[in-house]
A and B are shown apart, each in its own frame.
Chain A
Amino acid sequence: MKVTFPHLGTMHIFCKAIAETSGIPYIVPPETSRKTFTLGVQHSNECICLPFKIILGNFIEALKMGADTIVMVGSGPPCRLGLYDLVQKVILEDMGLRYRWLTIPPRLTWQAIWKNYEETKELKKELSWKNILLFPYGLRMGWKKMMACEALEKLAMKVRPREVKKGETQRQLKKALSWVDEARSLRTLNEGLERGRVLIQETEQDPYRTPLKIAIVGELYTVMDPHINRGVEQKLGELGAEVTRTSWFSTHILRSLRKNKADQASERIRFFEASKAYLGYDVGAECNLSIGEAILRSQEGYDGVVHLMPFACMPETTASGILTRVGKDWDIPILTLILDEQEIEGRIQTLLEAFVEMLQWKRKAA
């Protein structure tokens, strides 16, 4: 048995840690590349969600490298995400790829994973008692690593707009993340995290800058995955903006665990409430939150909002229409970027440059 999982930002570090700690063989799909895009696009159709295509591409690449078991967090209505697996399974089958599919129930409790899902029955036979006993430790390790990754990424978002040598923060961040990834024990993990923090902070910075403040909102895969969004977060940072986002892997896990008391979840509730001035119902996915966050960020003195959505995304299409009005009503510039599989990196760079420049003018004029 060799398990694999899709890419989503630094999520592979989390998955890998679980598998590794519990001694389950795994294959990390190759880093999402042009080839991944091409594979995903070739085997789906134009108006299917971009995240669907990328995940499919990841799976195809991993299966071809010898993985045989796909692990994917399940989802449900109202949007398409809940039916990705239905369609991806038949596509893989049609391609003649052999796989087994393990859905982690959206309400993630580790007991639930071992419940009587037909899928797990087969797997359990292949797992040793050791694997199963170690699994909770694996989860703990994975969780700790994920929190470490997020802490480092958040730090980098602060440092980036102040860096003197463009690109230095990103290099340091990469190094720091690899230390987290490589840690084999909680002790080495903590050390890695601390060293990583110091490393990122050591980036040469200009303390006199007052960076623009920009919030990134939108569909979660496009917000969280730098390959899908073509590095919007990094690009904005390097253009001199301090970026915030509320979609993190942990946010969504906590949400599925219904740990609503966690800070980030209650922030989501605030956004949701704010959206009610424009939307009378929960449209689904991140739609209402995109709108609510844009409103609240403008009240919090942010300079602008970047709204990310995949081409033909249903809830975010609704959001984008409403955001145009929100931008006017609350006097906050909002840039909607529609992401697809075309070679759009250059265009995105240009759009972001123009946007940042406009925000700088606006700030000076105020």
Chain B
Amino acid sequence: MEEKGRIGIPKALMFYRYFPLWKIFFEELGWRVIVSNGLGKRGRLIYFEDSCLPMKLLVTHSMDLKDRADHLFLPRLVSLHRSYIMCPKFRGAPDIVRLATEGTVSILDETIDLRMREHSMLQSFLRTGKRLGADEKEGKRAFQKAERLFTNFQKGWEDRINQLPTRQFFEIDIPTPLPPPPSPSPVKGGGELMESPSFLDVKPVEDGCRGEKPLFRVAFVGHPYNLFDTDVNKDVLSFAKSLGMRIITPEGLSEKEIDAQVSDLSKEIYWSSGREIVGSLFHFLSGGVDGVVFLTSFKCGIDALLQEFVRRRLKVRGGSSIPLLILSLDEHSGREGLTTRLEAFRDVMEERKRSNA
């Protein structure tokens, strides 16, 4: 199909959950999808407002794309759950980017608010498609295909994050290697989009756990961008893997498991991400893992408040025997500080295992 133009998707915020879906949708409509480069070694953060690091990264990545893309895709994410909402900052994010890019690039910012039928994922994407000249039928077909492949993609998540280098997590063209970590024998499986030869380059050992059996099961909890954006967390996941940790994330929990932990609170936590964080922290701290790491963004309003809540509630309930590490991330946190703390954490888990044995 002839390429219609380029859709720029900033590698920030909810990119780190939905990118494969977004990408397939636009490609199905005949657009090429380009993503921004990471900050890189000397990457400069662009300050538009003194916000949390993930928001600053959104602006920085959008600036990187503005001259290369015909449109920026920045849906207004009001709610991604049928009853709960996103952080208020997401509501103004497209406007912030519009001001920062001085209106030089078109922004596809249709609202997604799953609490309302007219702003369902499908409706929002149909509207986006319409702005790109696709009729309802084309839009629907593209969305349904994207949704189907995305659901498939999410299935092997735990293996994926444990066996691929972080930068490949969201590249849907790269199939999830089959467990156990394979020797160079050919990799099987994967979706319909396997044409790309890039899967041959997959070297799970590169920054993974070197093929040894991991020693610890560790839950990493936080907003998806805190978990998977290496500009936020200095690729703490690959370091964890090199320390022999098998990584578990809330993505693998069902809504029921999360609800079980938070439904009896005196007040309902109405942010979907906040709910997921609190629910999965309590869930993992009640068993099944050797340790829990909570990755927070400094200056994240939600993290600050809920972190206090989790700490105190654990305390008044007599604590948990599973070690919890809270890592607060911002543009000033260096890799060294993080790795030192993670190493110390590994030692704590080791000690605990030994004394329990």
Contacts and interface: CB of A to CB of B under 8 A. Distances in A.
Given A278-B99, A281-B111, A48 B312 contact: no
B192 interface: no
A325 B96 CA distance: 10
B267 A86 contact: yes
B76 A85 contact: no
Given A83-B305, A313-B301, A77 B92 contact: no
Interface residues of B, number: 42
A327 to B, nearest CB: 12
Interface in A301-330: 312-315, 317-318, 320-322, 324-325
B109 interface: yes
A78 B270 CA distance: 8
Contacts of B315: 94
Contacts of B306: 87
A191 B21 CA distance: 69
Interface string B311-344: 0110110000000000000000000000000000
A89 B305 CA distance: 13
Contacts of B96: 318, 321-322
A345 interface: no
Interface string A38-71: 0000001111110010000000000000000000
A134 interface: no
Contacts of A82: 267, 270
B266 interface: yes
Contacts of B301: 47, 49, 79-80, 312-314
Interface in B71-87: 76, 78, 85, 87
A48 B308 contact: yes
A279 B78 CA distance: 14
B88 A287 contact: yes
A79 B91 CA distance: 12
B269 A86 contact: yes
A44 B50 CA distance: 22
Given A91-B308, A285-B88, A47 B76 contact: no
A128 to B, nearest CB: 28
Contacts of A313: 301
A320 B50 contact: yes
A78 B95 contact: no
A47 B85 CA distance: 21
Contact of B300 (A47, A77, A282, A321): A47
Interface string A275-297: 00011111111010000000000
Contacts of B307: 45
Contacts of B109: 280
A281 B92 contact: yes
A87 B309 CA distance: 5
Interface string B91-113: 11011100100000000010100
B198 to A, nearest CB: 38
Contact of B266 (A44, A46, A85, A285): A85
A284 B91 contact: yes
15 contacts: A47-B299, A47-B303, A78-B88, A91-B312, A93-B312, A278-B99, A279-B92, A281-B92, A283-B88, A283-B92, A314-B301, A317-B89, A318-B49, A321-B48, A325-B99
Given A47-B303, A80-B301, A279-B95, 4 more contacts: A284-B91, A287-B92, A317-B49, A318-B92
Interface of B: 48-52, 55, 76, 78, 85, 87-89, 91-92, 94-96, 99, 109, 111, 265-267, 269-271, 298-309, 312-313, 315-316
